[in-house]
Amino acid sequence: MEHFYSVLRNEPLLHAKSFLENGILDVKSSLSNNNVLAFTSNIDLLDSSQKNLRIHVYVIDLNLPYYPYLVSSYEDNITVLEWDNKSTKLLIGDETGSIQVWSTCDYLISEWQLIYSHCFSGDIILAGIWFQNGTKFQINSEKKDTNVAYQEKFRYTKNTPSVVQFGNTHTDGFLCLTSSGFIYAHLFCSDGKTMTGYDLLCNYRSKYQRMDISHMKNGNFLICTSSGDARLPLTCFTVKVEIKHKDKSKLELTCQPFSSFTLNCVQANSNTQLPYTNITNLRFMILDIPNSILVSASGANGSIIELWELSEKTLTFHPAIHNLLQQQNQKIEINPTVSCWKYITSTSFSSHLSAIITPKTNLFDINPSPSFLIAAFTDDTIKCLNQENLQLLTELNLSTITINNQTNVNKNPKLIHPNIIPPVNTNRNNNWQKLSTIRNLQLTWSSSAMIAIDSYSQIHLFRLSPTMEPNVAMSLNHAQLMLEYSIMTGNDYWDILISMKPSYVETICDRINDCFLSKQQNQSMQQKWLDSVLQLKATLFRCINPGPSTNHLCKAGDYHTSKMLYAIFETIKRLIRAREYFDNEGPAEKLSHIIQSKPTDIQMLNLDKILIMLDSKDFTVETNTQLAFKYLFQWVYDLSLYILASIPQQYNQNQYRLPGVGLVFDTKAVNTLRELLVILRFWGIMNSTVLPTILKLQDNCDVIATIFKLLSKVVASAQSDKFEENLVDECCLLSNQVVIPQMELCPKSIGIASPTLYGNTLPLIFDYGEEPSFMKYSVKIHSIDGSTNYFFSKKRNNNYHNSSILLKFKAVL
């Protein structure tokens, strides 16, 4: 475990210090697959002047942890905090029986809206869980390091969803349990309606203090409960949720008792005084595989963690029972089996357990999968234990970690970024220089990083070794595997980026490119994941850049521009449909065939001659739709001019590179620009308002036709790997014919995953609400000779961005 960063408060709250350190109010948290952390705070993180203690729910992006965003505030202690599967909704429950569901506004974590609330007065919400969708991706351990098709490397397992509607489609919803054993299920239907259902775990109300819920393969829920007394057995139940057949507006809940067990430490000390009297934690080892459970208990001697697993036990009947069943002509099952809990092992500690966490899911198809659990204790230690035998793997003593005011110093003075200024407030109270008691733990989906939250709701992040390669740094093969897994599942890969070595970037991009574009991947797979692969490669080169060279930034701009270009092209291509059914190809496919078949033909240099080969009626689109693409076509036009204007400088200076202009060497990208210009010509003839804004310097110049001709010559020159001198001369004259816009084709990386990460020593120290000055940097980017940043470029760039996002979502839908 390596201490990576900490986010602290600016000033201590002396009036609440002892109250918070005693742990009277618990700290809850939940980490989504998008690496967005939701957590509770008993004090206002941004306003230290407020002395009234309230419970606040905040969310932060782990890449920008110093910017907390408030979801809501409460008067009572929060007991349940859970993200949904899509990382857009938060389930919040408190000790007064109130349940609330909050949703992001327009996918912004800074804006939240309440979409549902309910209250069970006089009860305490102890546990909550979202319905499972039935989909699960696992890594084939035998082929994890091989260059094979993604269908073979990653296995798609289809489980039964928790609740299905018409067509066996899964639906979002959640299940909550109260301290009295009351069950509440809520379903968000696809048509906007809601369904609810109620039931009890057993026939009478009980008094529970600890609960945990897990998903079963058949779609049911497995629930483990405890009254908090270690001498009493832990009772388990299964809950099935389904839509009523007669009344389609209600949910039907079916609760069944399951195998129960008593702690082994109680059975071993039945005749003596129990060393551990209170059950403090219940946790299934893996959320979607309830085959094992961890139970922790505490007492005067410290605490103990016991591991229990489900096993199949064969039942034997007494001969008298056999005879009785035979007399009643009932069928007798030979060697019937029943599921029961089996004690595996335990480990004890001299201090009390304050938090425990296990991986969310089993990434590999190995059973049992090599994994670990992490536990925090009140003696300021964090221990990592083996999941199978609870043996100690590594230990971290937080009392030895001090926060130095001069922690963040520039260790690479040759870095092109400005001087890095230590951000730590020198006025911070010395009592706050050490980490407080950890109250909650979270693991990222890949188990590459751990988040620890202390009594003051201060966040501390630690980098971890891979589960398959313990006690070593992340290897090249493991980094590639996790990045490919994130492409398939859509999970955020920020925790992989901060654990990778910068030297891996080039090799990983080459490997992913070779594997993705190989013949082993079918065309539909390549088309589906092209956008994600380009985004990944752009992020790798943009964020992991430890040196002063701008080569990584240029490559990031190339991939980012390609992603934008192909998104626009695929969206427009789907709008162009043939008037009649064609077996082989439609108008868009015919255009692609013409553009790509004869790149060196002289006739292909003339834009108007290509229009004659096509039927303009096939490219007819509604006027309103055409106008929606105006700003996107403006971006295509500007990009074409921009990369053509860069050719003279790249021709004369081979080392001269700019972000995005590398597309001039990509034949596929250049042909895509040519196809878009043909479509633009068609639409411009039908409706001139669709045409981009062109600032001509010569009135008799047909700019679009000239751009098309030069791009065609670029494709022809690609076969000789060298630009022709005539092409270079014509590109030099462009600045005399039309105004060439200056474009920024590579977004600047912000936050922790940026080049500044490699110019500072660890751990990084931040303050809530303050942007650290040492994370700011600037990179000098050359400009193209003759280009101009004219007055409306900034406004138009914003329109590019907004329009592209909107149309990309439409294309996906």
Joined together, the tokens standing for residue 789 give 């940043």
End-to-end CA distance of the chain: 42
Strands 787-788 and 55-61: unpaired
Half-sphere exposure of 498 (CA within 13 A, CB side): 28
For 32-70, how does the pLDDT look when each residue is reduced to its tens digit (9 = 90+)? 999 999 999 988 888 766 666 789 999 999 999 999 999
| Predicted local confidence at residue 743, as pLDDT | 87
Report the alpha-carbon angle 172-174-180, nearest 5.
Answer: 165
pLDDT level of residue 331 (50, 70, 90 thresholds)? low
- For residue 410, what pLDDT band results from cuts at 50, 70 and 90? very low
Return the pLDDT at 332.
64
pLDDT digit string (tens) for 200-214? Answer: 998 888 899 999 999
Q: What region does 20 belong to: left with phi over 0, alpha with psi -120 to 50, or beta?
A: alpha
Mean pLDDT of 378-382: 91
Residue 642 has pLDDT above 80, yes or no: yes
**What is the mean predicted confidence (pLDDT) over 317-341?**
74
Q: What is the mean pLDDT of residues 319-326?
A: 74
Three-state DSSP class for residue 399? helix
Task: Kindly give the pairing relationship between strand 392-397 and strand 302-314.
Answer: unpaired
What does the pLDDT read at residue 434?
55
Paired residues of 11 in beta bridges: none
Q: Which of 560-564, 653-657, 761-765 has the lowest mean pLDDT?
A: 653-657
Closest CA to 140 of 363, 365, 362, 361: 365
338 pLDDT higher than 80: yes
Separation between Cα atoms, residue 68 and residue 426, nearest integer Å: 22
Q: Are 186 and 91 in contact (CB under 8 A)?
A: no
The tokens for 758 are 């490699």
Q: Largest alpha-carbon pair distance within the chain?
A: 107
- Whose CA is closest to 280, among 261, 266, 262, 294? 294
Predicted pLDDT of residue 13: 60
The pLDDT, as a whole number, for residue 765 is 92
* pLDDT band, very low/low/confident/very high, at 485 (cuts 50, 70, 90): very high
Buried b (16+ CB within 10 A) or exposed e, 61-94: bbbbbbbbbebeebeebbbbbbbbeebbbbbbbb
Tokens standing for residue 371: 């994994």
Percent of the chain's residues with pLDDT above 90: 42
Sign (positive or negative) of CA dihedral 18, 23, 28, 29? positive
Which tokens in the block code for residue 124?
A: 């305490």
Q: Where are the domains of the chain?
A: 576-745+783-812
- With contact defined as beta carbons under 8 Å apart, do 571 and 807 qualify? yes
The predicted model gives 747-772 an average pLDDT of 88
Q: Which of 103, 500, 252 is nearest to 92 (CA)?
A: 103
Q: What is the pLDDT of residue 760?
A: 85
The answer to whether residues 746 and 537 touch, using CB atoms and an 8 Å cutoff, is no
Burial of 724 (0-12, 13-18, 19+ CB in 10 A): middle
Q: How confident is the model at residue 583 (pLDDT cuts 50, 70, 90)?
A: low
Cβ-based neighbour number of residue 389 at 10 Å: 10
pLDDT score, position 810: 36
Instruction: Check whether 135 has a pLDDT greater than 90.
Output: no
Instruction: Give me the mean pLDDT over the 236-260 stretch.
Output: 88
For range 641-659, the mean pLDDT: 81
User: What pLDDT score was predicted for residue 793?
Assistant: 44
Per-residue confidence (pLDDT) for residue 781, from 0 to 100? 74
DSSP-derived letter for residue 420 is P
Find how far residue 564's CA is from the centre of its chain.
21
* Torsions phi, psi for 618 (to 5 deg): -70, -20
Closest by CA to 480, choosing from 510, 508, 500, 505, is 508
Amino acid (one-letter) located at 44 = D
Confidence of residue 267 (pLDDT cuts 50, 70, 90): confident
Query: Using 50, 70 and 90 to split pLDDT, how confident is the model at 408?
Result: low
pLDDT tens for each residue of 270-283? 667 788 889 999 99
Residue with tokens 């007669």: 246
Q: Is 335 left (phi over 0), alpha (psi -120 to 50) or beta?
A: left
Confidence tier at 428 by pLDDT (50, 70, 90): very low
Among 364-373, 403-412, 623-632, the range scoring the smallest mean pLDDT is 403-412
Residues 86-113 pLDDT 10s: 999 999 999 999 999 999 998 899 999 9
